Amino acid sequence: MIRVGVIGASGYAGAELVRILASHPKVTLTALTCRTDAGQRFDQIYPSMTGWVELVCEAYDAEKLAKSVDVVFTALPHKQPMAIVPELLAKGLRVLDLSADFRFKSAEAYEAHYQPHTARELLDRAVYGLCEVYGNQIRGADLVGNPGCYPTSVLLPLVPIVKADLIDTDLIIADAKSGVSGAGRGASATTHFCHVNESFKAYKVGGHRHTPEMEAILSDVAGRSLHLNFVPHLVPMTRGMETTIYTQPRSGVSIEQIADCLRNFYAGRPFVRLRGETPADTLHVKGTNYCDIGYKIDRRNGRLILMSAIDNLVKGAAGQAVQNMNIMLGLPETEGLGPCPYPM
């Protein structure tokens, strides 16, 4: 059994990691750390898990961690991981970071949208953990920068098509919608039930920090620098993320070519389900590691509309992180990422 720890276990992404790892047949959860709740049993913070997780949340201590775990997940707000990941790696641990700190190859790109990077030397060593795209590099990595939820929902439908040069990369518009768990466990006006219920609105229009992350990967895949328009919205639901993407196919490209491209790219990949012209529905991926993808040409002007649905906490965070761990460790990619989804 591989010994695993979660740093920042009390946040939503951390708790979702605990959930998945507690049932994972090849690992044992041996350490949980959190700051504000240190000293509390984890199942007091998340009573649903009573009977499954008996660990106490401890304060972070690199020495202690190094003795009790082989692999560690850092589920912290950005800026915090870059302060501790160097020592965790130095102690021989494999690290999967769920923040933005190790998602960028370019320190400049990171610093333009976040803050000065204090572990620049690791950026080359880190692999961007979009499993279906960078699987080969993940296999040998000891540091993975796990993708953001929005980038995952935007990149999975787009990467194959951009790679195959089937669309005009000057026109990519991604209109994304997220459940409230994406805003995290912190209580605020944004997450108050009475402000969310019966409310639908955009936020951070044209200014969300996940945008440069999408652009960096798409540019990498396209082989040239590109920009897109990205607008996130908040939906009155707990989990789920749907993204509708508007693009212009290159002249002569048919829907069959789009479909073939996606089918070939995702052949044999267990966590992408192609839905044809059926719109992807967040309800169908709730609690799962799936990304469902639909696609359709709008006949009136030939534009290609792509739709993806993920669970923002699973494929958008903890599930993909465990998928990355499985790949890193040479385990079957799906290990611990079942069971059969709920009907609703």
Which residues ranging from 174 to 193 are in contact with its own copies (CB under 8 A)? 175, 177, 179-181, 185, 187-189, 191-193
Contact positions with its own copies (CB under 8 A) in 77-136: none
Tokens found for residue 60: 């972070």
Q: Applying CB under 8 A, does 200 fall inside the site for its own copies?
A: yes
| In the complex, least distance from residue 3 CB atom to its own copies, rounded to whole angstroms | 17
Contact indicator for 114, 100 with CB cutoff of 8 Å? yes
Q: How far is CA 88 from the centre of its chain?
A: 22
Nearer to its own copies among residue 21 and residue 122 (C-beta): 21
From residue 270 to residue 309, the character string flagging contacts with its own copies as x (rule: CB under 8 A) and all else as - is x--x-x-xxxxxxxxxxxx-x---x-xxxxxx-x-x-x-x
CA angle 300, 256, 334 (to 5 degrees): 120
Closest distance to its own copies from the beta carbon of 140 (Å):
28
Q: What is the largest CA-CA distance in the chain?
A: 63
52 binds its own copies (CB under 8 A): yes
Rg (C-alpha) for the chain, rounded Å, is 20
Query: Where in 202-221 is the site for its own copies (CB under 8 A)?
Result: 202-203, 205-206, 211
Residue 197 makes contact with its own copies by CB under 8 A? yes
50/115 with CB nearer its own copies: 50
Structure letter (DSSP) for residue 317: I
Q: How many CB atoms lie within 10 A of CB 114?
A: 17
Least distance to its own copies, CB of residue 63, Å: 29
**Closest distance of CB 141 from its own copies, Å:** 27
Residue 329 interacting with its own copies (CB under 8 A): no
Contact (CB, 8 A) for 6 and 69:
no
Task: Tell me whether residue 149 is one of the annotated catalytic residues.
Answer: yes
Choice between 135 and 341, CB closer to its own copies: 341
Of 331, 311, 306, 322, the residue nearest 255 (C-alpha)? 306
- Of 78-86, 101-109, 167-175, 258-266, the segment contacting its own copies by CB under 8 A is 167-175
Q: Which is nearer to its own copies, 126 or 216 (CB)?
A: 216
Q: Do residues 176 and 207 lie in contact, with contact meaning Cβ atoms separated by under 8 Å?
A: no
**Judged by CB under 8 A, does residue 269 bind its own copies?**
no
First to last CA, the chain: 33
Of 57, 149, 261, 291, which residue is the catalytic one?
149
Of 306-325, binders to its own copies (CB under 8 A) are 307, 309
Q: Which long-range contacts (CB under 8 A, 24 or more apart) does 46-49 make?
A: 46/15, 46/18, 49/18, 49/19, 49/22
For 305, the enclosing helix (H) or strand (E) is strand 303-310
Active site residues per annotation: 149
